[in-house]
Amino acid sequence: METITVDRSEQDDLGIIDEGGLAIDNGRIVEAASSQLLERKYSASRHISTSGEILLPGFIDPHTHLVFHGSREEEFRLRQEGASYLEILGNGGGIMETVNRTRETSQAELLSIAQHRLDTAIESGTTTLEIKSGYGLRLYDELKILRTIRQLQRKNLCRIAATFLGAHAIPPFMNPDEYATIIIEEMLPAVRRWNLADFCDVFCESGVFDPKTSSKILKAAGRMNLRTKIHADQFTNNGGAKVANDVGAVSADHVIHSSISEMERMNETKVTPVVLPASSQSLLSRQYAPARELLSMGLSVALGSDFSPSNWVLGLLTVAAIAARELRMKAEEIIPSITINAARALGMERRIGSLSPGKSADIVVLRAPSHKWIGYTYGEGMVDKVLIAGNERVREGKLVN
Ligand code: ZN
């Protein structure tokens, strides 16, 4: 049995301990070591046996759009017939369809829909995730979504980072400048006043927010003590990665068309690139982030699901399989990208992301003979147990209530 600590102080990059186990106390990791040594050293009131399985840090999803109403399977059909994402958006479909549905939905209803999705994520091994607003696009509804996220935080053991993405699209009959002013002067102060978000994000793309406006919004957020993220260069090289580097964002997400020099600059600015290959696949695009180049530059690449109505996937083992196939990422590269590097993309690397002493006992136990099964399979039936802060939340692949 392997215990994959992802603790770099261990012998190899993944910090693998053969026949290893963990000592946990009060929701935190005390020690990762060989089971034999742990049994001699500690007396535990409770043992969880994991023979024939592998232990990893709980998975971390640094990019989701979990809270919205409805689905867009008809739009997927249009894409199968050749329509592009930006064409659909330009014709009033895409995000605006989901915005309209979400605006009509009460907070209580949104909470119940989102809780169901969150349960699926946890059953897939996710113990921390980020959730963005962005399907309100006006003060009342953006706050409603952020308050739904806050309710999820209070109801669930898993950690949730909240991101204000009022700048997800331009509402109809408005120009980007007008809407950016509303975001900066009305929305951000309200988000701040109620302390509803950890991050502010902007969809920087041609036809949505240009680099100048994106930068203005993110700088305003920074002045209000919100950390920043950006949807960068998903469809075109639009300067999103440069904005991320200039404003000192925590992460730059998508980075499919970002320029090489800006990606290299991330080594200095410490911006974490978040690659979202499931999203490219759902958009039926053959264009993916250059993950191999990012890795060869020495960057800490994170992987996320980008769960949204246009990309209905929550399980990071499924995302890992796509990354293995489309980005040629190897198991030993994928594992840090869904644990410690994803924690970095949320600024939480000191608390979670590896099985290191003092960190939260967020653990996933997989039915697999070795870590090399991550990426090799699609992860079906692989999750056995999930522990969050030492509490068993999933057993035999099912949520424990
Ligand atoms: Zn996104």
How far, in Å, CA of 370 to CA of 283, rounded? Answer: 32
Q: Is the pLDDT of residue 10 over 60?
A: no
Do the Cβ atoms of 329 and 302 come closer than 8 Å? no
Number of H helices, E strands in the chain: 16, 17
Q: Does an H or E element contain 366, and which?
A: strand 363-366
How far, in Å, CA of 151 to CA of 156, rounded? Answer: 9
| DSSP sequence for 288-331 | ---HHHHHHTT---EE---BBTTB----HHHHHHHHHHHS---H
Taking the centre of ligand 1 as the mean of its atom positions, its distance from the CA of residue 143, in whole angstroms, is 18
Taking the centre of ligand 1 as the mean of its atom positions, its distance from the CA of residue 248, in whole angstroms, is 19
Do the Cβ atoms of 209 and 174 come closer than 8 Å? no
Q: Is the pLDDT of residue 297 over 80?
A: yes
Residue in 361, 365, 343 with CA at minimum distance from that of residue 125: 365
Taking the centre of ligand 1 as the mean of its atom positions, its distance from the CA of residue 392, in whole angstroms, is 30
Taking the centre of ligand 1 as the mean of its atom positions, its distance from the CA of residue 230, in whole angstroms, is 9
Q: Over the stretch 91-149, which tens digit does the pLDDT of each residue have?
A: 777 888 999 999 999 999 999 999 999 999 999 999 999 999 999 999 999 999 999 99
Q: What share of the chain is helix, strand, coil (3-state, %, to 5)?
A: 40, 20, 40
Query: CB count, 10 Å around CB of 30?
Result: 16
Q: Is the pLDDT of residue 9 over 70?
A: no
Q: Over the stretch 323-366, which tens digit does the pLDDT of each residue have?
A: 999 999 999 999 999 999 999 999 999 999 999 999 999 999 99
Residue in 364, 291, 369, 393 with CA at minimum distance from that of residue 333: 291
Q: Greater confidence, 284 or 86?
A: 284
Residue in 201, 196, 195, 192 with CA at minimum distance from that of residue 230: 201
Taking the centre of ligand 1 as the mean of its atom positions, its distance from the CA of residue 176, in whole angstroms, is 19
Taking the centre of ligand 1 as the mean of its atom positions, its distance from the CA of residue 191, in whole angstroms, is 20
| DSSP sequence for 135-194 | S--SHHHHHHHHHHHHHHHHH-SSEEEEEEEEETSPPTT--HHHHHHHIIIIIHHHHHHT
**Residue 401: pLDDT band with limits 50, 70, 90:** confident
Taking the centre of ligand 1 as the mean of its atom positions, its distance from the CA of residue 311, in whole angstroms, is 9
Most distant CA atoms of the chain, gap in Å: 69
Taking the centre of ligand 1 as the mean of its atom positions, its distance from the CA of residue 310, in whole angstroms, is 10
> Which stretch of 75-84, 308-317, 367-376, 381-390 has the lowest confidence by average pLDDT?
75-84
Do the Cβ atoms of 259 and 266 come closer than 8 Å? no
